[in-house]
Amino acid sequence: MDKHLNNAEERLFELLESTDFDQLSKEDRAFVEQHLSRGDYELQRRMITEAEHAFPAPPLAKPLKFAPVRLMGRSIPLYQAILSVAATIALFLFLWPETSQPNEQPQSNPQQLVSADTVIQTKIVTDTVIRYIEREIIRNNTAAANPPETVIDAAPMRVWEAGAIELPAITEELVKTKGSSLQEDTASKTILNGIYVARAS
């Protein structure tokens, strides 16, 4: 809080504002010298008179920049622009209330309202890798030279040529009525023996 000046201070203030020490009347000079030295008075007086010239004249200020809002090529105040947008939205809401309120719940079945506060997220992490390796199979030249049919037909031919099995005997054995057991299968034994003989020969 600034203390108000007393009468003496106020008189001193007015003299300081208006009169140089040399121009003071005798009475005023005596009054001043009761409160201030001449040096102090002149210093204060100089401060007051020279303050105006302490700063150089200011340069021109930068031009004023507005952020204009334009509508139909004409500047309009910002609040008018905001009001226009708000009015358009209000009109839209009025004309299409249903489309504008998509989150509104049906009133007929309020029990269907579900408040979910937990979200479960399933994340599938694959940790098995199946590798398919394709390899080229190189066929043997000998196998290619002898087709499978030839290889299959060769064995009975060798048995036949060796004369290890008599055809009537084996035929008789094969047509005999037998059970399901192969333990006493004479026909199989005859054929196997014939094969061994053919190989040996």
Residues that bind another protein (CB under 8 A): 2-5, 9-10, 12-13, 16, 20, 38-40, 42-55, 57-66, 68, 75, 77
What's the one-letter identity of residue 139? R
- Look at the block and give the residue holding tokens 């053919």: 198
Write the DSSP symbol of residue 72.
T
Closest CB to another protein among residues 69, 197: 69
Q: How far is the CB of 89 from another protein (least distance, A)?
A: 23
DSSP secondary structure string for all residues of 8-63: HHHHHHHHHHH--GGG--HHHHHHHHHHS-HHHHHHHHHHHHHHHHHSPPP-PPPP
Compare residues 9 and 153 and give the one whose CB is closer to another protein.
Answer: 9
CB closer to another protein out of 65 and 131: 65
Q: With respect to another protein, which residue has the nearer C-beta, 37 or 188?
A: 37
Is 136 in a helix, a strand, or coil?
A: coil
CB of 66 to another protein, least distance (A): 6
